[in-house]
A and B are shown apart, each in its own frame.
Chain A
Amino acid sequence: MSRHVAYTVMAPVRAGERDGLARAIEALGPSDGSPLTAIPGLHMGRVTLIERLEDPRGATAPALGPYLFVVVDADPPEAAVVEGLARACAPLFARCEGCPDTDDRRALATWLADHRIKDSWTIMPYAEHSLPEVERALALRERFGRFAAAEALNPGAAGLRDRFLAEFGAG
């Protein structure tokens, strides 16, 4: 079983909703208080308004935008990611074409699956580690740094092993 869920959604914005969607995205606020944190085990998430996809042969093609583009990288299970995504971004999805009543979570999950772009090729160097594992390792790194700095003030002092075990515990 994969230790990582990458969920990318791209959906056409309903006619006349472009400005409202832009305001709704702005209302998500700063990163610190992001509603995306409703997604359990979220490593990273982003929301983007694509005004128009590039049309290399000019304006003959039908309008290629605007689109809502949402990407999240989170820990499994996928069902929890979808549920969190639906909760966090319901006001955004509601402005997209064909979006069902966002309170109907089953219908919304189906709509999200239809608008999901599945990854074909990925680079994820620490994807096998969950968010708690990454956070624990980073916290340990900080503790180790503080301990090493304190020991460096008194190199060669007796009892290093005991202080190490007192700080980090015996295995």
Chain B
Amino acid sequence: MASEPARAQPLQIFTPVRRAWGLWLKLSWPPAERFSPVARFVKAPLKRLRFIHFAHWSLLTHMPPRGGTRLPYPYVVFSTTFNGDVNAYIDAFSILIPWRMRLLWQGAFHFPGPEPLGRFRRFITERVVPTEHFHCAYPQASVKMILGALELEEELGRLRREAPGMDDAEFARRWRQLLGRSGAVL
């Protein structure tokens, strides 16, 4: 298993943005992170993609970040771990959530917009800083597998609780339902 290529891939980019844009991000991120209806609305399409393990956006303005010297530009720091091909990952952001990409990077220097795809892909890939060392506790598990396994665990638990009260026919029906639902995650 260890010799197989890891499914999870890390990626990070550091993008200088105009100072006014940094202010916009500072004001707009808290409600998009903490105010549930907004957070759900903004994040739902990304979560539905089921290929992002973790994605973090933050703004770096000083070095050291706390109490340090102000940098000449604020930097959007984007670090993520995802499954699959990097180009497909970037294209998915462009195609599915173009306006959210604008809300994040419109004020970045040289930002070409989320479309056309090729230019946005180049904007990201040219700024990728290679990862020197990476560890994942479950390297062979995709996000889809993990979310599917967590859902399956709930369903199996429900069936275990209810099974003693079922006759064979009822159990067989529920088993087929479970197989049908879980087929995609196996």
Residues of A in contact with B (beta carbons under 8 Å apart): 6, 8, 10-12, 22, 25-26, 28, 31-32, 34, 36-37, 42-50, 53-57, 61-62, 64, 67, 69, 71, 73, 98, 113-127, 129, 131, 133-138, 140-141, 144-145, 148, 156, 158-161, 164-165, 168-171
Contacts and interface: CB of A to CB of B under 8 A. Distances in A.
Interface of A is mostly: mixed
Interface residues of B, number: 83
Contact of A168 (B26, B81, B148, B156): B156
Given A121-B33, A121-B57, A125-B52, A138 B134 contact: no
A165 to B, nearest CB: 6
A105 to B, nearest CB: 19
Interface of B is mostly: mixed
Given A121-B56, A171-B161, 16 more contacts: A11-B64, A37-B135, A43-B54, A44-B54, A45-B135, A46-B12, A54-B14, A54-B109, A64-B71, A115-B64, A117-B65, A120-B29, A120-B58, A125-B52, A134-B141, A164-B163
Nearest to B150: A137
B160 A122 contact: no
B175 A164 contact: yes
Given A131-B137, A171-B162, A158 B168 contact: yes
B23 interface: no
B72 A55 contact: yes
Interface in B29-54: 29-30, 32-33, 43, 46-47, 50, 52-54
A141 B160 contact: no
Most B Cβ at <10 Å: residue of A55, A118, A120: A120
